[in-house]
Structure 1
Amino acid sequence: MFFKMASSALLTFCLVASSQAAMTISGTRIIFPGNEKEVNVRTNNKGANPSLVQVWVDDGNANADVNSIKTPFMVTPPVYRVEPGKGQSVRVIYNGMALPQDRESVFWFNMLEVPPVMQNAEKVDRLELAFRTRIKIFYRPKSLSSSGVGEVDKIKWEMLGDNTGIRVTNPTPYYLSFDSADVQLGGKAVALNTEMVAPFSSKDFLLKNKGSVAGLTGVTFRLLNDFGSAYKGQLNFSNGKELVLQHKK
Structure 2
Amino acid sequence: MLGKLVIPFFFLFSAASSLASMTISGTRIIFPGNEKEVTIRTNNKGSKPALVQVWVDDGDINADLNETDVPFITTPPVFRVEPGKGQSVRLIYNGSELPQDRESIFWFNLLEVPPLYKDTANVDRLELAFRTRIKIFYRPKTLTSSSAGQMEKIQWQVLPGNKGVSVINNTPYYLSFDRAALQNGGGSGELDTAMVAPFGSASFLLKKGAMAGVTGATIRLINDYGAAIEKKLILSADNKLLLQNN
**TM-score normalised to the size of structure 2?**
0.92
* Residue of structure 2 in register with 1:119 after alignment: 118
The Cα offsets for residues 196-244 of structure 1, whole Å up to 9 and x where unpaired, read as 11100111000012x2134211100110000000101000111141010
Q: Distance in 2 between matches of 1:43 and 1:80?
A: 11
Q: 1:237 aligns with which of 235, 238, 241?
A: 235
| AA matched with 2:108 | F
Please say if 1:63 is aligned against 2:62.
yes
Alignment of 1:194-213 (within 5 A): 194-209=193-208, 211-213=209-211
Q: Distance in 2 between matches of 1:181 and 1:72?
A: 33
Query: Structure 2: any 5+ residue segments left out of the alignment?
Result: 1-6
Contact 2:40/2:89 (<8 A) preserved: yes
SS of corresponding position for 1:57: strand
Give the aligned CA root-mean-square deviation in angstroms: 1.6
* Residue of structure 1 in register with 2:218 after alignment: 220
Q: Distance in 1 between matches of 2:128 and 2:11?
A: 11
Please say if 1:180 is aligned against 2:179.
yes
| AA matched with 1:144 | L
* Residue of structure 1 in register with 2:137 after alignment: 138
SS of corresponding position for 1:212: coil
Query: Structure 1: any 5+ residue segments left out of the alignment?
Result: none
Q: Distance in 2 between matches of 1:155 and 1:78?
A: 39
C-alpha deviation, 1:123, in angstroms: 4.2
SS of corresponding position for 1:145: coil
Relative contact order (alpha carbons < 8 A, sep ≥ 6): 1 or 2 greater?
2
Report which stretch shifted further, 111-120 or 86-95. 111-120
The Cα offsets for residues 29-70 of structure 1, whole Å up to 9 and x where unpaired, read as 000000000000000000000000000000000111122211
Contact 2:11/2:129 (<8 A) preserved: no
Q: Distance in 2 between matches of 1:67 and 1:132?
A: 18
Q: Distance in 2 between matches of 1:146 and 1:214?
A: 37
* Residue of structure 2 in register with 1:191 after alignment: 190
C-alpha deviation, 1:73, in angstroms: 0.4
C-alpha deviation, 1:24, in angstroms: 0.2
Report which stretch shifted further, 212-221 or 92-101. 212-221
Report which stretch shifted further, 18-27 or 70-79. 18-27
C-alpha deviation, 1:189, in angstroms: 1.7
Alignment of 1:32-111 (within 5 A): 32-111=31-110
Contact 2:177/2:193 (<8 A) preserved: yes
SS of corresponding position for 2:214: coil
SS of corresponding position for 2:118: coil
Q: Distance in 2 between matches of 1:60 and 1:247?
A: 36
* Residue of structure 1 in register with 2:160 after alignment: 161
SS of corresponding position for 2:109: strand
